[in-house]
Structure 1
Amino acid sequence: MLHLRAVCPVDRTEQVLAALKEHPGVAHVVLLRGAALDPAGDVVEADLAREATDEVVEALCELGIDHSGGVTLEQVDTALSDAADRAEEAAPGEAADAVVWEELIARTGEESRLNATFLAFLTIACLLAAVGVVTDSPVTIVGAMVVGPEFGPLAAIAVGLVLRRRDLVRRAGLALAAGFPLAMLITFAGAVLGSYTGLFDRDVVLAAHQVDFVFQVGPFSLIVALLAGAAGMLSMTSAKSAALVGVFISVTTVPAAGFAAIAAVLGEWAICGRSVLQLVVNLAGIVVAAALVLALRNRRRRGRDLGRPLSRG
């Protein structure tokens, strides 16, 4: 279940209570009169079955609570209550199939920001991939896949395309367009330093073949990217985040970027080009599949405009 807290003007409180009480998927409605100070008003709380959340939030937004007050959602890990059990049984659909659209927009919007943390994770992942290449270590390559933060912006692009949110597409596109070149440039510089100091030998690196799969582009590159994108979006929309780890391990986005940097240092421009192509194929495949999955789930969505421009630039 999800816990909802709404801060609402006093003149809207009864309407908010009515919207909550009339939905069968709502339990534990609480009213705290005059508890809100800024903005001033009442505080209404309730527990919602996940499959009822989108309809309830839509009703509150139609009352303008998102503008005159505020609506907050939190995950409830455990609820010991017959009323909560009845609400989950009465709510239409299954919790695993329910999409909380506002939650999805907020989550992908936050994860798609170009900031120091995103750049740090992407750079570290790219450096790990480079180490995996020069040491011919598939395990290190897998580690780089897990560390890479690129799925957040890719998911945001898919959400932006389906929901026609240009701000999401623009923000996520900027994160990827700036993040990958910067990470590859830093990895290139590190590889130059490593080569100059004798940390690795060109002939040894080229003689190793356990990690050649990183730059070997073929039909399965696209197939894996499509499957990973579909699984990733299903994971995000169904709150099954554990599946995302499998998504990270299955695609060769960051490893391809790291391999491209190493190949450039070694002067192997054919391998460098194939690595970049592998990166592009994986990025595009993930976005396409994620958008298709989201579009299919979006058919049940109400006709209202779910999103407001993200508040932070």
Structure 2
Amino acid sequence: MLHLRVICPAARTDRVLEVLAAEPASTNVSVLRGAAVAPAGDLIEADVSRAIADELIVALRALDLVELGAITLDATGTVLSAAASRAERAAPGRADESVVWEQIRNQVHRASELTPTFFAFLTIAFLLSAVGVTTASPLTLVGAMVVGPEFQPLAALSVGMVRRDRQLVRRSLGTLALSFPAAMLVTGAATLLWVRFGWIGVADVENARNFDFIYEVGPFSLVVALLAGAAGMLALVTSTSAVLVGVFISVTTVPAAGLAVVAAIAGKWHVAGSSIAQLAINLAGIVLAGVAVLLLRPRATRRWTRTANA
């Protein structure tokens, strides 16, 4: 179940209640008249099934509640209620399998933006991967994988492709196209500085056989990327954040970028080129798997109205 919270002008309250009353998959409806201060109005709360959340939001948007009030949707957690159980049974399909597009859209739009925080995390991940490769430290490489934030714009790109949202696609591609080269340049500069200080060496990067999985492209390069992308998108649409850590560790996007930088500095261009190819396969595989998961997920409605894209 999801908890719906609506702030609306008093003149719209009865219409909101009519929408909720007409939907058997909503329950536990309550009204606090005059409780909202900014924006002013009434506060309406209800528990609704995930399966009908999108239809409900579309209906509430049609009442101009986004402009005149607010619509909030959150996970309810544990709900002990016979009425809630009946509402779940009244929902079409499996409620826990439904995609709440408004919720996903809101998440990925934020994630697709190139922010200083995103760039900082990506750069730190690349720096860790460079250290891990040059010092033969698997733990450091795993840390770099966990820190890397690249799945967020990749997921946004998948959603944009499925929803045919050109703005979201352009923003996601722009974030990836700008952040990766910039972070690699910073990593290259830092690596040269560390070499000059004598802290690390890059001469043996070609012989770092412990890390050949990072740059040797093979059939499982794409298989792992597809599996990780599918798991990541499933975690996103079902709000299972703990799974994302495993997704980050399973793919070699960040280590491949770090190794490409180190190999280029060492003049091992075939290793650098193979690492870039591995990076490209991982990125493409994650996006393709994300698109496939979204297209295959059951949903109660496929409506994606002009107002929903506003």
Q: TM-score range by the shorter chain?
A: over 0.9
> Within 2, Cα distance between the matches of 1:221 and 1:302?
33
- Output one character per residue of 1:223-259: Cα deviation in whole Å (capped at 9) or x when no partner: 1111211121111112222221221111111111101
8 Å CA contact 1:253–1:278 kept in 2: the answer is yes
8 Å CA contact 1:134–1:200 kept in 2: the answer is yes
Could you say if the C-alpha distance between residues 35 and 217 of structure 1 is closer, same or farther in structure 2, counting changes exceeding 3 Å? same
> Within 1, Cα distance between the matches of 2:190 and 2:281?
26
- Measured after TM superposition, the shift of residue 137 of structure 1 is 2.3
> Within 2, Cα distance between the matches of 1:277 and 1:155?
20
> Within 1, Cα distance between the matches of 2:128 and 2:177?
20
Matches within 5 A, 1:236-251: 236-251=236-251
> Within 1, Cα distance between the matches of 2:129 and 2:308?
37
Q: Give 1:25's aligned residue.
A: 25
Q: Quick check: 31-40 or 287-296, which moved more?
A: 31-40
Q: Give 1:197's aligned residue.
A: 197
Q: Give 1:266's aligned residue.
A: 266
Q: Residue 43 of structure 1 aligns to a residue in which SS?
A: strand
Q: TM-score, normalised by structure 2?
A: 0.93
Q: TM-score, normalised by structure 1?
A: 0.92
- Output one character per residue of 1:17-63: Cα deviation in whole Å (capped at 9) or x when no partner: 01112212212111122223343332211112222322222221233
Q: Residue 185 of structure 2 aligns to a residue in which SS?
A: helix
Q: Give 2:286's aligned residue.
A: 286
Q: Give 1:112's aligned residue.
A: 112
Matches within 5 A, 1:155-166: 155-166=155-166
> How many residues are treated as equivalent by the alignment?
309
Matches within 5 A, 1:1-313: 1-297=1-297, 300-305=300-305, 307-309=308-310
- Output one character per residue of 1:101-136: Cα deviation in whole Å (capped at 9) or x when no partner: 100000111122211110111011111111111122
- Output one character per residue of 1:253-305: Cα deviation in whole Å (capped at 9) or x when no partner: 11111011111111111111111111111111111111122122377533332
8 Å CA contact 2:252–2:282 kept in 1: the answer is yes
- Output one character per residue of 1:74-101: Cα deviation in whole Å (capped at 9) or x when no partner: 2222223332233223323223201111
8 Å CA contact 1:165–1:307 kept in 2: the answer is no
Q: Quick check: 79-88 or 272-281, which moved more?
A: 79-88
- Measured after TM superposition, the shift of residue 7 of structure 1 is 1.7
Q: Quick check: 48-57 or 253-262, which moved more?
A: 48-57
Identity %: 54
Q: Flag as ranges the 4+ runs of structure 1 deviating above 4 A.
A: none
Q: Which structure is richer in relative contact order (CA contacts within 8 A, separation 6 or more)?
A: 2
- Measured after TM superposition, the shift of residue 11 of structure 1 is 2.5
8 Å CA contact 2:146–2:245 kept in 1: the answer is yes
Could you say if the C-alpha distance between residues 91 and 230 of structure 1 is closer, same or farther in structure 2, counting changes exceeding 3 Å? same
> Within 1, Cα distance between the matches of 2:221 and 2:64?
46
Could you say if the C-alpha distance between residues 49 and 94 of structure 1 is closer, same or farther in structure 2, counting changes exceeding 3 Å? same
Could you say if the C-alpha distance between residues 68 and 202 of structure 1 is closer, same or farther in structure 2, counting changes exceeding 3 Å? closer
8 Å CA contact 1:136–1:209 kept in 2: the answer is no
Q: Residue 54 of structure 2 aligns to a residue in which SS?
A: helix
